[in-house]
Structure 1
Amino acid sequence: MYGDTVLEIQGLTKTYKNNRGIADVSLRVNEGDVYGFFGPNGAGKTTVMKIAAGLAKADRGSVRLFGYDPGERYEDAMKQVGVLIEKAEAFEYMSAYRNLEQAARLYPGLPNSRIDEALELVGLAAHKKEKVGHYSLGMKQRLGIASAILSKPKLLILDEPTNGLDIEGMVEIRELIARLAKEEQVTFFLSSHLISEMEMICNRVGILHNGRLIREGGMGELVHGSGQSLESYFVQQIRAEREAGRHEPAEVHYH
């Protein structure tokens, strides 16, 4: 089921002006994975995902998407990748359908039927003619996911994809991720605060704490072998880091 490496991160380091950031992060996402990337607020998850998606530059380290460095060959690296980082962006004076029409211009030859298909998948088909300015936060998030899956990517990088959704919406998005992974062989690299939801679909996990990757591996290897839920395992690992005194945010100094 799991094949070649589609995303490889090696020694990723980025320091901000306050000396905080991420330090020496390395991870691998293989074809067929639903990789859950977890960590407390401010741990650096979004920074890692932005760099992975070519939206920010690292100070050190490397990223490979399908074998390409997005910093050097962005189009080749990203042509099979869909991205939703932080909040979904859209033209609020346009309808959902018109927004996706604009996004579809980036993918020559994409049929209009795919727009309707994407809206149906995320539960917005009945609202496709409404202006996005009238949408709730959750509906805007669904539209962001529709835009991310529009081109039928092989890898989806999703930062908090259930942000703003009610309980029913969270379940629907989790089911959508599971369905795309199984039926369309889409690989996922995603972050979420809803660890109990993600446990149902993730096969690999990475735990980031204060800019450092403290655990990374398969669910069976890391979690199930301990007899704990993913949520309990996560809390235990974060507490252990803090109790061991490894609680300072990552700082990188150049000599």
Structure 2
Amino acid sequence: MNKDTVLDIQGLSKTYKNNRGIDNITLQVRRGDVYGFFGPNGAGKTTVMKIVTGLVKADRGSVRVFGYDVNEHYEEAMKDVGVLIEKAEAFEYMSGRKNLELAARLYPHLPNTRVDEVLDLVGLSANKKEKVGHYSLGMKQRLGIASAILSKPQLLILDEPTNGLDIEGMVEIRELIRRLAVEEQITFFVSSHLITEMEMICNRIGIIHNGRLIREGDIGELLQESGQSLETYFVQQIRAEREAANHEPAPIQYH
């Protein structure tokens, strides 16, 4: 494994009882990447991320984070990883700051200034005393990211961070990811079905469809290869996969 590889996924497969899952996923996220993991809803993005973070066990394959196998050395692998999967959870009767203070108890090594530092980073300083129940969806997402970066992770895994947000909220999250990549030197593994939104911040992408990784590469190379927008390229790849599937036996359904 290359020393610059932060996340190394090899041959990852998982089939659920309903025959949905992922099949033979292999990809690498390098230090400094903002890696966009793209695919239609239900393509298998969340399943991959749950396996990477130890929330689901794979049937086959391996995951290494910072060189550590997630199954064999889970604590070492996840020590420098921040995670926000599906949606941000918080105590709505407490303020944003109180929620982060509670989370900070898990990291006794953190300086007392870290809570206010991350609130400022995500743009919630003015709302830190407000109850989370009064937050907009975009503010709750930002609070979730604040919690994920509280421990100063080197890798941040975000599952659909702009899902359900309005245009302003999407822009806020996009700008936040860009800022954290620069100011906090965080490597990102970000899933989304909104390729035009993430194209503005990602330098590499992987396209997943029906549980299989159908394309991976640097955005610049893919754009040069296709000679068109990334959105058009993405749609063409998905349609080509679907057309190919129509000439083969019915595929397994994936989640």
TM-score tier, shorter chain, comes to over 0.9
Which shifted more, 122-131 or 59-68? 122-131
Instruction: Work out whether 1:8 is the aligned partner of 2:20.
Output: no
Paired position in structure 1 for 2:53: 53
Quote the Cα distance in structure 1 between the aligned partners of 2:230 and 2:50: 25
User: Mind listing any 5+ residue stretches in structure 2 that lack a counterpart?
Assistant: none
3-state secondary structure, aligned to 1:223: helix
3-state secondary structure, aligned to 2:106: coil
Which shifted more, 144-153 or 214-223? 214-223
3-state secondary structure, aligned to 2:164: coil
Paired position in structure 1 for 2:202: 202
Letter in 1 for 2:140: K
**Deviations 1:127-167, CA, capped at 9 Å, x for gaps:** 11122122222221111111111112110000011223332
Query: Would you say how many aligned residue pairs link Structure 1 and Structure 2?
Result: 250
Letter in 2 for 1:248: P
CA RMSD of aligned residues (A): 1.7
Matches within 5 A, 1:21-170: 21-170=21-170
3-state secondary structure, aligned to 2:225: helix
Whether the 8 Å contact between 1:141 and 1:163 is mirrored in structure 2 is no
3-state secondary structure, aligned to 1:117: helix
Quote the Cα distance in structure 2 between the aligned partners of 1:112 and 1:244: 56
Quote the Cα distance in structure 2 between the aligned partners of 1:101 and 1:236: 47
Quote how far apart the aligned CAs of 1:250 are. Answer: 5.3
Using the aligned pairs only, state the percent identity.
Answer: 79
Quote the Cα distance in structure 1 between the aligned partners of 2:95 and 2:138: 16
Instruction: Work out whether 1:248 is the aligned partner of 2:236.
Output: no
Quote how far apart the aligned CAs of 1:110 are. Answer: 0.8
Letter in 1 for 2:125: A
User: Mind listing any 5+ residue stretches in structure 1 that lack a counterpart?
Assistant: none
Quote the Cα distance in structure 2 between the aligned partners of 1:31 and 1:3: 9
Paired position in structure 1 for 2:185: 185
Give the TM-score, by structure 2 length. 0.93
Quote how far apart the aligned CAs of 1:3 are. Answer: 6.6
Whether the 8 Å contact between 1:154 and 1:186 is mirrored in structure 2 is yes
Quote the Cα distance in structure 2 between the aligned partners of 1:7 and 1:227: 29
Letter in 2 for 1:185: Q
